[in-house]
Amino acid sequence: MDRKDAILQHRTSLPIASVEMRLVDEVRKHDTIIIVGETGSGKTTQLPQYLSNAGFCFDGKVIGITQPRRVAAVTVAKRVAEECDVQLGQKVGYAIRFEDVTSRSTRIKYMTDGLLLREALLDPILSRYNIIIVDEAHERTVHTDVLLGLLKKVQDTRLQKQKLDKLDLNNLIQFDNGSQSSNTKLTPLKLIIMSASLDAKGFSEYFGGAKAFHVQGRQHPVDILYTYHPEPDYVDATLIMIFQIHLEEGPGDILAFLTGQEEIESVDRLVHERLKQLPEGSRNVLTVPIYSSLPSEHQMNVFKPTPVSFRKVILATNIAETSVTIPGVKYVIDTGLVKVKNYNPVTGMESLIIVPISKAQSLQRSGRAGREGPGKCFRLYPESEFWKLKDSAVPEIKRCNLSNIVLQLKALGIDNLLEFDFMEKPSREAITNSLQQLYLLGALSDDCKLTDPVGFQMARFPLDPIYSKALILSGEFKCSEEMLIVVAMLSVESIFYSPREKLEEARSAWKRFSSSDGDHQTLVIVFRAAAEYLKKIKAATSKTKAIEKNLNRWCSDNFINNRSLKHALDVHSQIKRHLEQIDMSLSSCGDDMLQFRKCLTASFFLNAAEKQPDGSYRVKATGQNVQIHPSSVLFRSKPDSIIFNELVQTNQSYVRTISRAWSPGLVSYYD
């Protein structure tokens, strides 16, 4: 059988294939439908093809499918292009940040939900799209939630416009100038919300009682086992369970869900300690940790085949719940816990807390045991506890800073944020605090309208509003080159990589970069050092592989996280291009650090703090008492007046990424 036949056979065997005609028919009849598809149903790859074949892409219109994650958008698009036997980027394509693989002929377009939100800024009624499919809606990321609200509104606007167009058409005969409306023929926007089970009702209610369809999945059965009693020490319980499975169950790898890096490292260590107590014949266990901040070359270890006669034990965070699918797993250990970020809109304080998972999440976790054959899931809690879990997790929109979202929606012409039809409304406090912050940044006027040009410019930058403002201000202070680097570096995950066992070595490597002015200037120095090194190797070779290898070497020599650095380089060039487009020229302050400090102080004045007699700091805006985080270059010098970028609550309240503020009263002493 050749590849084409194999693809055809695969496609027709998928559970969704038997309901193709029915689904197409329902999409014709209704403007919005909900599809509940279990894993393996084929909904993500097949439905767009069915709709395209049924003629929904007439007049060059596009079917858009959104995903919460970049990798998913790319891999699914590649698969569908192959199934359609077309070149990727032609009829089937994808678009994610930094990468647009579409063309004029693209009819099926996979993309991230965040990217579609950005597109809406340029085309608020999304006129290119006939159908938008929102996939993985049950994950309820901020982007998905905002998108759902927006799409609901766009549907309405397009219906209204359509009615007006008809009126215009009638008037055409009278006025003979309907050219503008007649050549942009608008169709209603069809919406398809795709979700995993449990919450179809919520989506259906939100979309005015839209019909929901269930599509069978293709999963192997998974036995669920509970403990009799709650486990007071889940780390220890995990450890015991790993050995119980290893000694009593048949072959197959184990996936254990833990809450964070530290826990994973300690379970890893303990497994190896206890292995020594086992008879030699039972020591055939291989542990593989995986969590997001682990360098990618180490992450790849989970995909290496397990050596013959060995059992692999994967110790994972939530990354293995959705983002990474690991083959070979037959046993899942579920602690029932997850670490989530929390945000206090009143204080602006962020923290990470460990909370019980939802029923949906526990189902997702147990499902990881049944991908290749029947499996078992050991839940480290009693069944009675399972029934007490919430159906689904608190959506992200209720747990995050809303400033960016509020700014986006304002730019889309949605003026009354408190009235906006969110599926789940964020608290009034969270919204009003964001409005106030945007007002203080100059993005909103006294009557709460987006300011022109500052507010509009800020909305266009793919940055936190406070960073967008910093960038705009830096033009006046003649240090936009430096600020561009700072906002790029601040937009990515931590740039410094500190493995516990080599902490001293790392610290001495970073000394080269550190500046007594603060962490911002330090970031500029790191970025410039990396950019200069990159320039040097690019002059020596043009081979992409060699360039990458050298850059990775430089990163590991300097204890810099290579993924973060590459990301910062990408953000930097994207924003730079954007600045060119809006004719903002770049300027450098050179060695004039005072100028840069003035600009930092002016930009981050909302995050200013002053030293107290006891060496702690008082945040000016809220009066909170905080400490300088020990990772800051200013940890020891403790200047009188600082600005900061992050406020985090751990065992104490800390401010992170700090610079000396410029205080005019003290300037003569310092400069």
Nearer to DNA, 311 or 629 (CB): 629
- Does 352 bind DNA (CB under 7 A)? Our answer is yes
Nearer to DNA, 117 or 137 (CB): 117
Nearer to DNA, 575 or 593 (CB): 575
Nearer to DNA, 242 or 405 (CB): 405
Nearer to DNA, 181 or 299 (CB): 299
As beta bridge partners, residue 659 has 518, 643
Task: Please say whether the beta carbons of 591 and 626 come within 8 A.
Answer: no
Residue 460 exposed, middle or buried by CB count within 10 Å (0-12, 13-18, 19+): middle
Nearer to DNA, 74 or 131 (CB): 74
One residue of 58, 303, 635, 670 binding DNA per CB under 7 A:
635
Rounded to whole angstroms, the Cα distance separating 189 from 192 reads: 10
Write down the least CB distance from residue 593 to DNA, Å. 24
Task: Please say whether the beta carbons of 120 and 126 come within 8 A.
Answer: yes
| Segment lying near DNA (by CB under 7 A), choices 169-177, 213-221, 488-496, 596-604 | 488-496
Nearer to DNA, 61 or 638 (CB): 638
Q: What is the DSSP letter of 252?
A: -
The type of residue at 492 is V
As beta bridge partners, residue 288 has 314
Task: Please say whether the beta carbons of 39 and 219 come within 8 A.
Answer: yes
- Does 500 bind DNA (CB under 7 A)? Our answer is yes
- Does 318 bind DNA (CB under 7 A)? Our answer is yes
- Angstrom distances, CA of residue 296 to CA of 224, 361, 653: 32, 25, 31
- Does 514 bind DNA (CB under 7 A)? Our answer is no
Task: Please say whether the beta carbons of 30 and 208 come within 8 A.
Answer: no
**Contact pattern for DNA over residues 576 through 605, marking x by CB under 7 A:** ------------------------------
Task: Please say whether the beta carbons of 364 and 323 come within 8 A.
Answer: no
One residue of 68, 149, 252, 455 binding DNA per CB under 7 A:
68
- Does 317 bind DNA (CB under 7 A)? Our answer is yes
Write down the least CB distance from residue 653 to DNA, Å. 9
One residue of 89, 124, 462, 475 binding DNA per CB under 7 A:
462
Write down the least CB distance from residue 323 to DNA, Å. 4
Write down the least CB distance from residue 565 to DNA, Å. 15
Residue with token string 């969110």: 422
Q: How many other C-beta atoms can be found within 10 angstroms of the C-beta atom of residue 262?
A: 12
Write down the least CB distance from residue 627 to DNA, Å. 8
Size of the site for DNA (CB under 7 A): 49
Rounded to whole angstroms, the Cα distance separating 269 from 81 reads: 45
Strands (E), 318-428: 329-334, 337-344, 349-356, 375-379
Nearer to DNA, 561 or 659 (CB): 561
One residue of 637, 650, 666, 667 binding DNA per CB under 7 A:
650
Write down the least CB distance from residue 615 to DNA, Å. 9
Tokens encoding 484? 């561009």
Residue 583 exposed, middle or buried by CB count within 10 Å (0-12, 13-18, 19+): exposed
- Does 573 bind DNA (CB under 7 A)? Our answer is no
Q: How many other C-beta atoms can be found within 10 angstroms of the C-beta atom of residue 287?
A: 21
- Residue 336 — left, alpha, or beta (φ > 0 → left; ψ -120 to 50 → alpha)? left
Cis-peptide into 453, omega within 30 deg: yes
Closest CA to 481 of 587, 574, 581, 568: 587
Tell which positions 394-453 bind DNA, by CB under 7 A. Answer: 404
Nearer to DNA, 199 or 464 (CB): 464
Tell which positions 331-350 bind DNA, by CB under 7 A. Answer: 339-341
- Does 261 bind DNA (CB under 7 A)? Our answer is yes
- Does 629 bind DNA (CB under 7 A)? Our answer is yes
Rounded to whole angstroms, the Cα distance separating 619 from 533 reads: 38
Contacts with DNA, residue ranges (CB under 7 A): 68-71, 96-97, 112, 114-115, 117-118, 141, 143, 259-262, 291-293, 317-319, 323-324, 339-341, 352, 404, 462-464, 491, 493-494, 498, 500, 503, 629-631, 635, 648, 650-652, 654, 656
